[in-house]
A and B are shown apart, each in its own frame.
Chain A
Amino acid sequence: MTHPNPHSDSAATAEILIQPTRGWSWFSWRELYAYRDLLWLLARRDIVARYKQTILGPLWNIIQPLLTTVVFMVIFSRVARIPTNGAPSSLFYLSGMLPWNFFSQTFQSTASTFLVNANIFGKVYFPRLIVPVSAMISNLVALAIQLATFFVIFAVEKHFPRAGSFHLTAGVWLLPLVFVQVAVLSLGVGLWIAALAAKFRDFAVLSSFLLQLWMYATPVVFPLTRVPARWLWVAEINPMTFPLEATRQMLLGAGTPNIVLFANSIVSTVLIAAAGVLLFQRVEKSFVDVI
């Protein structure tokens, strides 16, 4: 006798086989899709809960990058006099922070997946990848708000032209693809750290330092053209260089992406993400027993 259930197709598959898995395993798109409602609800939770009991709420998504931009303008532009490829410094920093903030937020939320959700993971099963992906989706909201802020400042700068020139370039419609790459890359790196930190907390500590270092290895506060020749290799192997330069080129005409950066970046993004997923899937199996 089977209980007729109109939703039996939607949440879990008909037959579940539980046995020890050996070696590495990829995740199942079908299962991820079956849990899509949970994906959205978790993303929604992250968005709603983040600004509960704050006075300004989502406005922080506007204020925080603006404040950072002002700080950058004072320190890197006025004091250190680092040029900004001819673009107004405000737009230069804001455009750089679009991909970088999205990257760092997603990286951080992904890296802490196991530590933050240890309790839930110990009590109920769902594909664990849901959690980092839903956090990434919630970060997209912050990204969208920041992008809107960018365009407001863009319009203001256009209206009161100062020295320097800037313009949207024809390739701007490719911008979403750049952010897709950043999403995949940040999830990939984050999954690495999450998997390692599940067993060794040391990596949780290390990750914030890594992120800091990574920012200075990425042309966020300086243009790629100002990187000394002997350090150029760092920028070239860094998969975040291309998204940064591409964003700047698309939004301001002030970036210098090239085919070498592009190829490097795409290849390493795919490799890092694939390895990250494999490692994460492996740790996921035994994580409850070691945490």
Chain B
Amino acid sequence: MSRPILEVCGLSKRYTLGSIGSTSLRDEFTRRWEAMRFLGRRGAAGRGAPGAAPGDFWALRDVSFSVQPGEVLGIIGRNGAGKSTLLKILSRITEPTSGSARLRGRVASLLEVGTGFHPDLTGRENVFLNGAILGMTRSEIRRKFDEIVAFAEIERFIDTPVKRYSSGMYVRLAFAVAAHLEPEILIVDEVLAVGDSSFQKKCTGKIQSIAADRQRTVIFVSHNMQAVEHLCSQILHLDQGSVAGFGPPAAMVADYMARTAEARGTVRTRTLADGIQLDNLLLSPNPVTAGDPLKFEITLSAPVPTTVHDFHMVLNNPSGYRVALVDLRDARGPYLLVPGQPAVFAGSIARLPLVDGSYGVGFVLRTGREHQDCNDLFHLEVRPPPPRGPLVPYAVQYQGTTVLDYTVETRGVNTR
């Protein structure tokens, strides 16, 4: 094997919770003062040691891995696992607290499309500006200009200020610039498939072709397990800032799925929003067979009287797309949760029309003060329905998302 193009060695990143957001001088003085007062008690020991100070948060902790040229590395992990922090460090947006990373080649990172677009400038001017911000030279952009414009399908409007663009045109142009970068190492955050569905297909197609020609090393973060398994040659699985696994895609995805599904429809207390606790979620049966009924029971409690304006349960498919919603509001108005009196929501779904796979169950809760989306708190396993007759069922990736309850009658069809 040749020399790795990317070598990451003991990378750690600490955020000091107290200092984030304290942007006024007075806050800082208060903080320094407090620090001085408590210094004697806490002592100098433990300062800087991982996890020692209570206000510290380690977004990454001793992460090491290496990537060979031409590989496509997928980074997976739950929200808050440190994926974005890792991308930010590799993109040189923020510095690590300790450890090092060595990149051997020209790097371009795409954490957002359209960075630096100026609304008053024309499409043409923005292509050059955005390209330069992403690290292209002017001559390079000039060479690819026609290709970029054609890809974005906005030939007619290229000399119109982008503020007059529809949002679709805007993201198309922005993505087109990004897609034509030719670095040796490309760092991509997943939220790149943008625009209407046909353009989305084009975007994922482009990412796939970049990944497939194995000319460039790609590092990309995704929640879409299908895409990751399909595109990547290596997977880095992060969990709470540490490496939970590094290896071939199939094994890593399976491991990730197993870990995230650890609390399958069982009792597990979680705080949803504004102090409101989810005491219990019961999904039965779990696993459930596609097309069968599913019962659910949800128990909420609140430490102080709290009004709930909105509450619903959501189901996300294995690719992370929301496929269904169970409305848990009451037509009579907002709920009032009082301490010591858990609220129970019990019900059943007559037939669960989802193709087989592991679904994330989450909740959206809004109180007067806070709105919180809690996706993928639990996992619901859906098993394939019994086959219709003697034919071999289609593989799950051909089945779409839903299982229909249907009958077919044939007339004038001859079988051999």
Report if B111 contacts A (CB, 8 A): yes
Q: A15-B102, A120-B116, A120-B133 are in contact. Are A288 and B25 (CB under 8 A)?
A: no
Contact B184 A37 (CB under 8 A): no
Residue interface mask B275-288, A partner, CB < 8 A = 1: 00000000000000
Report if B28 contacts A (CB, 8 A): yes
Q: A2-B69, A199-B28 are in contact. Are A290 and B133 (CB under 8 A)?
A: no
Q: A18-B102, A52-B120, A290-B20 are in contact. Are A41 and B93 (CB under 8 A)?
A: no
Question: What A residues does B139 contact at CB under 8 A?
Answer: 7
| Chain A residue at smallest Cβ distance from B16 | A289
Q: A8-B184, A16-B107, A19-B96 are in contact. Are A124 and B133 (CB under 8 A)?
A: yes
Report if A212 contacts B (CB, 8 A): no
Cα distance A48–B136 in the bound complex, in angstroms: 21
Report if B318 contacts A (CB, 8 A): no
Q: How many residues of B contact A (CB 8 A)?
A: 55
Report if B357 contacts A (CB, 8 A): no
Contact B125 A48 (CB under 8 A): yes
Contact A200 B91 (CB under 8 A): no
| Chain B residue at smallest Cβ distance from A18 | B101
Contact A15 B104 (CB under 8 A): yes
Contact A14 B105 (CB under 8 A): yes
Question: What B residues does A3 contact at CB under 8 A?
Answer: 182, 184, 215-216
Report if A122 contacts B (CB, 8 A): yes
Contact B112 A200 (CB under 8 A): no
| Chain B residue at smallest Cβ distance from A284 | B95
Q: A2-B184, A8-B184 are in contact. Are A18 and B137 (CB under 8 A)?
A: no
Q: How far is the CB of B93 from chain A (nearest CB, A)?
A: 5
Q: How far is the CB of A288 from chain B (nearest CB, A)?
A: 5
Cα distance A21–B97 in the bound complex, in angstroms: 9
Which of chain A's residues 33-61 have a Cβ closer than 8 Å to chain B?
Answer: 35, 37-38, 40-42, 44-45, 48-49, 52-53
Question: What A residues does B342 contact at CB under 8 A?
Answer: none
**How many residues of A sit at the interface, in one of the four size bands?**
35 or more
- Within 8 Å by CB of A37, from B23, B88, B102, B137, lies B137
Report if A68 contacts B (CB, 8 A): no
- Within 8 Å by CB of A124, from B25, B105, B111, B216, lies B111
Report if A157 contacts B (CB, 8 A): no
Q: A18-B102, A49-B118 are in contact. Are A290 and B92 (CB under 8 A)?
A: no
- Within 8 Å by CB of B106, from A5, A119, A124, lies A5
- Of B23, B132, B137, B139, most buried by chain A (CB within 10 Å of CB) is B132
| Chain A residue at smallest Cβ distance from B102 | A17
Contact A41 B111 (CB under 8 A): no
Contact A202 B24 (CB under 8 A): yes
Cα distance A41–B134 in the bound complex, in angstroms: 12
Cα distance A40–B125 in the bound complex, in angstroms: 12
Cα distance A45–B260 in the bound complex, in angstroms: 47
Contact B138 A37 (CB under 8 A): yes
Report if A1 contacts B (CB, 8 A): yes
Cα distance A22–B137 in the bound complex, in angstroms: 31
Cα distance A87–B128 in the bound complex, in angstroms: 47
Cα distance A41–B69 in the bound complex, in angstroms: 32
Q: How far is the CB of A39 from chain B (nearest CB, A)?
A: 9
- Within 8 Å by CB of A16, from B19, B103, B120, B138, lies B103
Q: How far is the CB of B136 from chain A (nearest CB, A)?
A: 7
- Within 8 Å by CB of B137, from A2, A11, A20, A45, lies A11
Question: What B residues does A121 contact at CB under 8 A?
Answer: 93
Question: What B residues does A14 contact at CB under 8 A?
Answer: 104-106
- Further contacts, 17 of them, CB under 8 A, given A10-B137, A125-B109: A1-B215, A5-B184, A11-B135, A15-B103, A15-B104, A18-B102, A18-B103, A20-B96, A35-B132, A38-B132, A45-B129, A48-B125, A52-B121, A120-B116, A123-B115, A125-B92, A285-B95
User: Residues on B close to A: CB < 8 A?
Assistant: 2, 15, 19-20, 23-25, 28, 69-70, 88-107, 109, 111-112, 115-116, 118, 120-121, 125, 128-129, 132-140, 161, 182, 184, 215-216
